[in-house]
Amino acid sequence: MDIFALAGQNLISPMVLCFALGLGASLARSDLSVPEAAAKALSIYLLFAIGFKGGVSVNESGLSADLAFALLAGVALSAAIPLVAFAILRAISRLDAVDAAAVAAHYGSISIVTFVAASASLTALGVTYEGYMVAVAAAMEAPAILTALWLAHRGHPASAGPAEAGLWREILLNGSIVLLIGAFAIGWITGPDGRAEISSFIDAPFRGVLCLFLLDMGLVAGRGLSRSARLLSPAVVAFGVGMPLVGAALGATTALALGLSVGGTAILITLAASASYIAVPAAMRVALPEANPAISLTLSLGVTFPFNLTLGIPLYIAAAQRLAG
Amino acid sequence: MDIFALAGQNLISPMVLCFALGLGASLARSDLSVPEAAAKALSIYLLFAIGFKGGVSVNESGLSADLAFALLAGVALSAAIPLVAFAILRAISRLDAVDAAAVAAHYGSISIVTFVAASASLTALGVTYEGYMVAVAAAMEAPAILTALWLAHRGHPASAGPAEAGLWREILLNGSIVLLIGAFAIGWITGPDGRAEISSFIDAPFRGVLCLFLLDMGLVAGRGLSRSARLLSPAVVAFGVGMPLVGAALGATTALALGLSVGGTAILITLAASASYIAVPAAMRVALPEANPAISLTLSLGVTFPFNLTLGIPLYIAAAQRLAG
Amino acid sequence: MDIFALAGQNLISPMVLCFALGLGASLARSDLSVPEAAAKALSIYLLFAIGFKGGVSVNESGLSADLAFALLAGVALSAAIPLVAFAILRAISRLDAVDAAAVAAHYGSISIVTFVAASASLTALGVTYEGYMVAVAAAMEAPAILTALWLAHRGHPASAGPAEAGLWREILLNGSIVLLIGAFAIGWITGPDGRAEISSFIDAPFRGVLCLFLLDMGLVAGRGLSRSARLLSPAVVAFGVGMPLVGAALGATTALALGLSVGGTAILITLAASASYIAVPAAMRVALPEANPAISLTLSLGVTFPFNLTLGIPLYIAAAQRLAG
Amino acid sequence: MQTHQAKRIEIIIEAPMQRRLEEALTRAGVTGYSILPVMGGNGRSGPWSREGQVGRAGGLIAVVCIVRPDAKDALLEAALAVLDRHIGVVSVADCEVLRAERF
Amino acid sequence: MQTHQAKRIEIIIEAPMQRRLEEALTRAGVTGYSILPVMGGNGRSGPWSREGQVGRAGGLIAVVCIVRPDAKDALLEAALAVLDRHIGVVSVADCEVLRAERF
Amino acid sequence: MQTHQAKRIEIIIEAPMQRRLEEALTRAGVTGYSILPVMGGNGRSGPWSREGQVGRAGGLIAVVCIVRPDAKDALLEAALAVLDRHIGVVSVADCEVLRAERF
Ligand SMILES: Nc1ncnc2c1ncn2[C@@H]1O[C@H](COP(=O)(O)O)[C@@H](O)[C@H]1O
Ligand SMILES: Nc1ncnc2c1ncn2[C@@H]1O[C@H](COP(=O)(O)O)[C@@H](O)[C@H]1O
Ligand SMILES: Nc1ncnc2c1ncn2[C@@H]1O[C@H](COP(=O)(O)O)[C@@H](O)[C@H]1O
Ligand code: NA
Ligand code: NA
Ligand code: NA
């Protein structure tokens, strides 16, 4: 299927439309809302299911040195992307070093929902990917934070003091990393038998749950946009759309070097192109409180996420088909 | 199937029994309870699923002028029923104009769960209905409020001042309307392909989720009854059982005029017979704070809803089979 | 299958691994957590599903005097076990009479999740059990509390005054008993037709939901252990592992006397071996506030529950196969 | 702005005791109170949190009561009788209220 | 420890009025407030609880506002205008704050 | 009714800082505190709400601490050290407590 057909079809998928519904509802100031506890429950479900499935597929395909290389490459990507992002932001926008570093951390890290959405698109196309990409995703969550703190400290020494030990434990053991890796391990250990046991829980309703979660993300993104869009200068918005493409290019190069499959390439591109909106914001509040959280979050959730969901993912899949096909 | 068989079977369906369990548990003062966030999540699921399915069915059947007529008729019904309800209440009960207007608003508007329960009963009987009835349901939520505010203002000028602009936005964009219409639009756009994609989420568990939601409604209704039953005079209780039948008659007439199918007729009768317990109460608190909320809510949720759920729906379906069959 | 194979397989089942993941995550102080409302919703689902299925199976098999005997035996077991537990605790540990009585109440009562996990294991092995065991489980929740209050009052008259009427209503009508019995009744009334109606809700996702609930239990157990493990002396920990075996022996004897099937025997053993962690703790806070809740809860949830989940259940099933097979 | 003297009483009490406290307050003639959720805390009996908890044990609630100064003692006595052997904290602060006719 | 005089204003108001109260506070120049959930309560209109509720009607929220003493009156007037015919309780207490530059 | 002077300290702080605040309070010898959820608010950094949020960033909590008057300063210093560069509001009010032996 060519890229325009893919993109067109993607735009009218239930997933994208649910996000659009949420976005529209909150921009129109409807009081539609998903309770916090329900949103968290949906995200626990998605993390568990995607992690578990990745583990099962590693159980089936067996393990090789590839996993180790991919993990290392993921860590390197996550640590490197903030350098690029920071340089671009300082060049084109007026963000100060601290805000630029905070934004850069978000773009080096990853968004699991973007990963999940790409995975759902691949599944719909019948394309498989290396199960260990789940572990790579988890490995890419944290390194960007380290780079960003270093960048902020360089630019503004008072701002980011010596990171305390507790911070590192917190970042590395944050709930989404632990659940993703834990579910991956469970899937790996229990394999296809385990999957058969709980398949009607983690497979059947998966896309529907994703739709409701995207509805919630649309609501939250819309609320962020209507409150904080004025904080985003045109240059910053341009960054929000351009940076995913830069990340995607870095991801594509890495995927080629690793020799990943078409699906694996699409996933790695997507991860590199995506921006965190859960783990990194919390870490930034602790370690870089001077950064204005509304800037990075509105950019990540209100600009980059919708871009990736609508145009990015079909583009990354098309690119992967060209490059690794 | 004759109406007694239908009603008898309905009384021992899991849906009705779950409601009865909730009602009994809270009347017996058990501490059984469904968390607020879970109840909201269940209702989001039901609204999304019923809206989406309606949209898909419109996608399949194509659109005609019927939709426009049905929408107009729904709006007219919703706006007219409060006049009848108000007149009856003032004639038979001692409620003052403000309380009577508030109650009337509830009965002109609709209860989505009653709609969902009727839809489930129809599905079990293999009867289909026009998919656009979902849009009609959404259209019937708000007009009754307008009529009721006018009634209250007539009867008691100080009580309902000129409605501020914000109120109208709030009523028209309230969460349940937006979600219902939004899911309807998504179903319409994505059609049978979209449904196939998320069917194991919105179809398979639908009735079970409805059961749990009815359990919760029973709990809430029972709590309301044990706290506020003393506020309901015999005349008011009689209204709670009689008014659905009046509404049903108006709904049936309208359905005949519209030439709806058997299923569509049953749904429109049900909508006209049902009384709001989510959207209207909130609007009344803002616009008509002098009205005692316990009266309308206890009547709607504690008397009319159980009546419709147990006897009303089978009766409305039987009537539809006679009239439109 | 021999017991070691059974136990080995059980240890690497998704259920046990999910519990282990939760336990590990909270011992490592990850911030992974399941919202309170979501945990309650999961538990409502499990209670409803297990109760309903039990009722359906009674509907199918018909009712006999067996149910009455089993109920009586369950009540007697629940009332008697605290006597044994109290005597053991006073002999081997330094717990005072009040704390020992509180712990004893937990062990006389039952844990529904342990029951659910045993039921899932039996189902996986293709072993059925008497549907009315659900009612027996409900009947075993409360009697232990009565015995324990009597024990505490004997040992420390000031502590447990004359139990007020409200307390008994509260204990007998606590949410989990009402939901379990109510769902059982609904399943009984609606039978296989009712089950067919909601089967894709209560059957298909059952094990997956159980996995997530066990994840949550692991998290809560781990938190309890890291906060309160120091309160548990080695003797008390030994009690936490030994008492289930004592309870199991009593349960096995009773099951033999009742002439239960293999499955029913395994369930009754499991019930007798399990320790409450929801209903009893709340009752103890009201009736025996001098007891340190951290001791009984950490012991029940942090020691006995994991023991039963990992080693106990396979052992009880194997024993049932020997005894009743 | 016309305000009146009142007392703000805050009772932090174990969730399983909620019904008893409510009944006692009503018996003591308290005309209004609001209950706020508490999500965690720490005390002599150690830290706790509601996260992932299913049962009501192991949780507190905060009952806030604004009363006329002369109603304070009856309320405190009622609260104390319920608290008795139980965990819980009662604090009383001076405040002023609008719309005193509502108390 | 350097502290400054301030007022702690607590407005318990019906949830459906939240947006209006927030707008009124903002118009009155209030620079900060926090909203706490209320899970139940009792008053002249009877007991209520949020358990199992889907709609916003039948619930209250507690808005806590720490302000400089001189900002008190404007805030109370704004709150009173919103409360008007509605259920709700407003209380004001003296307090001291750290970091007064933030108010 | 026998009551004792005490201080009611309320610390509204970002949720991601909860653990650090709890540790600091414990180090400062605070014997008890309760944590209440905050569902939204407004301040110089704009309005916020917890609705639909998955992460902890973008949320506050309210820590309520009733202490003997002489423990106040140690507590405030500990809280201030944690708050430091962070968003948050600390207020102190006089109150009286029952059962003073529990503090
Ligand atoms: N001084 C205090 N201020 C606020 N809350 C307290 C205080 N003391 C105890 N609490 C609450 O009451 C619970 C039980 O306290 P304790 O009985 O000291 O273990 C604690 O976990 C807190 O939630
Ligand atoms: N004196 C009070 N103290 C605290 N909350 C109150 C008080 N009076 C009323 N409320 C709250 O406001 C609600 C409505 O009060 P009312 O208008 O008296 O029915 C009650 O259910 C309580 O949640
Ligand atoms: N004066 C205040 N009273 C109560 N809460 C406040 C106050 N100021 C700030 N807050 C809370 O702290 C958050 C951050 O405040 P700010 O740093 O001013 O943006 C606000 O969104 C409120 O939730
Ligand atoms: Na990235
Ligand atoms: Na109606
Ligand atoms: Na037991």
Please give chain A's pLDDT, 325 residues, in tens: 577 887 888 899 999 999 999 999 999 999 999 999 999 999 999 999 999 999 999 999 988 889 999 999 999 999 999 999 999 999 999 999 999 999 999 999 999 999 999 999 999 999 999 999 999 999 999 999 999 999 998 876 665 555 577 888 899 999 999 999 999 999 999 999 999 999 999 999 999 999 999 999 999 999 999 999 999 999 999 999 999 999 999 999 999 999 999 999 999 999 999 999 988 999 999 999 999 999 999 999 999 999 999 999 999 999 999 998 8
Report ipTM (2 d.p.): 0.96
**Residue A166: predicted pLDDT:** 84
**Residue C115: predicted pLDDT:** 97
> What residues form DSSP beta bridges with E64?
E10, E34
Residue D83 Cα distances to B21, D9, D86, E13, F103, angstroms: 33, 14, 5, 28, 15
> Quick check: E60 pLDDT over 80?
yes
**Residue A218: predicted pLDDT:** 98
User: Lowest-confidence range among A14-18, A238-242, C189-193, D84-88?
Assistant: D84-88
Instruction: Mark whether B and F touch (3+ CB pairs within 8 Å).
Output: no
Q: Would the CB of F41 count as within 6 Å of ligand 3?
A: yes
Ligand nearest to the CA of B103: 5
**Residue A143: predicted pLDDT:** 96
Establish, for the pair of chains B and C, how many residue pairs have beta carbons separated by less than 8 Å.
88
- The confidence band for C98, taking pLDDT boundaries of 50, 70 and 90, is very high
Give chain E positions within 8 Å (CB) of D36.
36-39, 62
Half-sphere exposure of A98 (CA within 13 A, CB side): 15
Task: Confirm if F53 and A282 have CB atoms less than 8 A apart.
Answer: no
D15 C-alpha to ligand 2 centroid (Å): 20
Using DSSP's 3-state secondary structure scheme, residue F66 falls into strand
**Residue A15: predicted pLDDT:** 96
- How crowded is residue C2: how many other Cβ atoms within 10 Å of its Cβ? 9
- Cα separation of B67 and B262, whole Å? 16
* Distance, first Cα to last Cα, chain A: 13
Q: C214, C247, C238: which is closest to C316 by C-alpha?
A: C247
Q: Nearest CA of chain F to the CA of E28: how many Å?
A: 13
* Distance, first Cα to last Cα, chain C: 13
**Residue C7: predicted pLDDT:** 84
Ligand nearest to the CA of E100: 3
Give chain F positions within 8 Å (CB) of A284.
57
**Residue E100: predicted pLDDT:** 79
**Residue A35: predicted pLDDT:** 97
Give chain C positions within 8 Å (CB) of D50.
36
> What residues form DSSP beta bridges with E60?
E14
- Cα separation of B44 and B51, whole Å? 10
- Cα separation of D95 and B319, whole Å? 62
Q: Would the CB of F68 count as within 6 Å of ligand 1?
A: no
Q: Would the CB of F66 count as within 6 Å of ligand 1?
A: yes
Task: Confirm if F76 and F9 have CB atoms less than 8 A apart.
Answer: yes
Residue with tokens 């300063």: F73
> Quick check: E42 pLDDT over 60?
yes
D42 C-alpha to ligand 1 centroid (Å): 6
Model confidence over C257-295: pLDDT tens digits? 999 999 999 999 999 999 999 889 999 999 999 999 999
> Quick check: F103 pLDDT over 90?
no
Q: Would the CB of F10 count as within 6 Å of ligand 3?
A: no
User: Which residue CA neighbors atom 17 of ligand 1 most closely?
Assistant: D87
Q: Are E58 and B39 inside 8 Å of each other by CB?
A: no
**Residue B225: predicted pLDDT:** 96
Using DSSP's 3-state secondary structure scheme, residue A12 falls into coil
- Cα separation of A186 and C8, whole Å? 15
Q: B112, B86, B87, B88: which is closest to B101 by C-alpha?
A: B86
Residues from D in contact with E at Cβ < 8 Å: 1, 3, 6, 8, 22, 25-26, 30-37, 61, 64, 66, 93-99, 102
Ligand 4 being an ion, which residues bring their Cβ within 5 A of it? A 110, 274
Establish, for the pair of chains C and D, how many residue pairs have beta carbons separated by less than 8 Å.
64
Partner C contacted by D87 (CB < 8 A): yes
User: What HEC string does chain C produce?
Assistant: CCHHHHHHHHHCCHHHHHHHHHHHHHHCCCCCCCCHHHHHHHHHHHHHHHHHHHHHHHHHHCCCHHHHHHHHHHHHHHHHHHHHHHHHHHHHCCCCHHHHHHHHHHHHCCCHHHHHHHHHHHHHHCCCCCCCHHHHHHHCCCHHHHHHHHHHHHHCCCCCCCCCHHHHHHHHCCHHHHHHHHHHHHHHHHHHHHHHHHHHHHCCCHHHHHHHHHHHHHHHHHHHHHHHHHHCCHHHHHHHHHHHHHHHHHHHHHHHHHCCCHHHHHHHHHHHHCCCCCHHHHHHHHHCCCCCHHHHHHHHHHHHHHHHHHHHHHHHHHHHHHHHC
> Quick check: E101 pLDDT over 90?
no
User: Which residue CA neighbors atom 15 of ligand 2 most closely?
Assistant: E43
Using N-to-C axis directions, what is the helix angle for C313-324 and C112-125, rounded to 10°?
60
* Distance, first Cα to last Cα, chain D: 17
Burial class of F29 by CB neighbour count within 10 A (0 to 12, 13 to 18, 19+) = exposed
- The confidence band for E2, taking pLDDT boundaries of 50, 70 and 90, is confident
- Cα separation of A310 and C125, whole Å? 46
Model confidence over C10-66: pLDDT tens digits? 899 999 999 999 999 999 999 999 999 999 999 999 999 999 999 999 999 988 889
**Residue F84: predicted pLDDT:** 86
Model confidence over C138-176: pLDDT tens digits? 999 999 999 999 999 887 766 555 557 788 889 999 999
Q: Would the CB of E22 count as within 6 Å of ligand 3?
A: no
Q: What's the predicted TM-score (pTM) here?
A: 0.97
Q: Are C37 and B33 inside 8 Å of each other by CB?
A: no
What is the average per-residue pLDDT within C119-136? 95
**Residue A163: predicted pLDDT:** 59
| Number of helical (H) and strand (E) elements in chain E, helices listed first | 2, 6
Q: Nearest CA of chain B to the CA of E17: how many Å?
A: 6
Q: Nearest CA of chain B to the CA of C44: how many Å?
A: 8
Amino acid at position C48, single letter? F
Ligand nearest to the CA of F13: 3
**Residue C62: predicted pLDDT:** 87
**Residue D19: predicted pLDDT:** 94
Q: Would the CB of E62 count as within 6 Å of ligand 3?
A: no
Using N-to-C axis directions, what is the helix angle for A165-172 and F18-27, rounded to 10°?
140
Q: Are D8 and E44 inside 8 Å of each other by CB?
A: no
Q: Are D34 and E60 inside 8 Å of each other by CB?
A: yes
> For chain A, what is the largest distance between any 2 Cα atoms, rounded to a whole number of angstroms?
55
- Give the closest of F44, F90, F94 to E31, CB-based: F44
Burial class of F85 by CB neighbour count within 10 A (0 to 12, 13 to 18, 19+) = exposed
Mean of pLDDT over chain C: 94
**Residue C158: predicted pLDDT:** 64
**Residue A105: predicted pLDDT:** 97
Atom of ligand 3 nearest to the CA of F41: 23
Q: D21, B187, F54, B265: which is closest to A46 by C-alpha?
A: F54
- Cα separation of C151 and C144, whole Å? 11
User: Which of the residues in chain B have pLDDT under 50?
Assistant: none
Give chain A positions within 8 Å (CB) of C124.
197
What is the average per-residue pLDDT within C212-217? 97
Residue with tokens 């007037």: E77
- Cα separation of C238 and C303, whole Å? 9
Amino acid at position A41, single letter? A
**Residue C10: predicted pLDDT:** 87
Q: Nearest CA of chain A to the CA of C30: how many Å?
A: 5
